[in-house]
Amino acid sequence: MKTVLIADDHTIVRLGILLVVKSMFLNAEVTEAETLAQVITQLEAKPFDLLILDINLQGGNNLQMIDAVRLRQPAIKILMFSGYEEQLFALNYIQAGADGYLVKDSSEEEIRTALRTVMNNEKYLSAAVKDQLISRLHQPRAVSANPLSVLSSREREVLNLLIKGSSVAKIAEMLHLQITTVSTYKTRVFEKMGAANLVELIEKVKLYSHPG
């Protein structure tokens, strides 16, 4: 029997994933959580085979969530479930220790494929991200010319929140950082992206996220 923990702050999202999980794994025991604190509580209470984790979960929203999970259950499979641009963030979360990265507008078949892949001890990335990786291998100069490729993981997090419209103060709260620290990251992001304002930053992200 598979034990699955679904962590998302939207009830309708948890319900949808639960139905897919139940249809794939008969007699699966599914537990739900709305915050990172609830996730930690559940992980400390019993072992799970799989954690489906919202990238923007309350109390988390950063790469350190992976460490917090692995510290308690090193062998658990972690599938990130995100509304964020996968071509900007997927590889960072995989490198941080996640087993897969799935965007929330994925089809049911894509969700099933991701679940099946992760549970088979393989890493899951969408076809688009795999194509991006192959393109980078064949076009090394294009990678060096892409400013997104030189951003650190934290700078990418700040970038994503900036283009979502979050203020420096809000970003500091979400990432558990000092406002001055976030301001520094913001300055670095604008400098590395070569953008003078938010509108230019958004356009740069669109341009370099979809090369060619």
Report the CATH number at residue 25: 3.40.50.2300
Q: Which residue has the tokens 């739900």?
A: 32
Question: What gap in Å lies between CA 121 and CA 36, rounded to an integer?
Answer: 24
Question: What gap in Å lies between CA 125 and CA 132, rounded to an integer?
Answer: 11
62 with 151, same domain?
no
What's the maximum distance between 2 C-alpha atoms anywhere in the chain?
55
Q: Which residue has the tokens 């650190």?
A: 152
Record the pTM: 0.68
Q: Which residue has the tokens 């609830």?
A: 38
107 with 146, same domain?
no
Say if 20 falls within a structural domain.
yes
- Domain enclosing residue 199, as ranges: 138-209
Q: Mind listing the pLDDT tens digit for each residue in 104-113?
A: 888 999 999 9
Say if 76 falls within a structural domain.
yes
Q: Mind listing the pLDDT tens digit for each residue in 68-114?
A: 999 999 999 999 998 877 777 788 788 889 999 998 888 999 999 99
Say if 132 falls within a structural domain.
no
Cross-strand partners of 78: 51
The two tokens of residue 95 are 């490198």
Domain count, the chain: 2
Mean pLDDT by 10 residues, the chain (212 residues): 95 94 94 96 97 88 84 96 78 87 91 96 87 67 68 92 93 93 94 87 77 42
Q: What angle do CA 161, 31, 22 make, to 5 degrees?
A: 100
127, 153, 171: which is the final residue of a domain? 127
Question: What gap in Å lies between CA 39 and CA 131, rounded to an integer?
Answer: 33
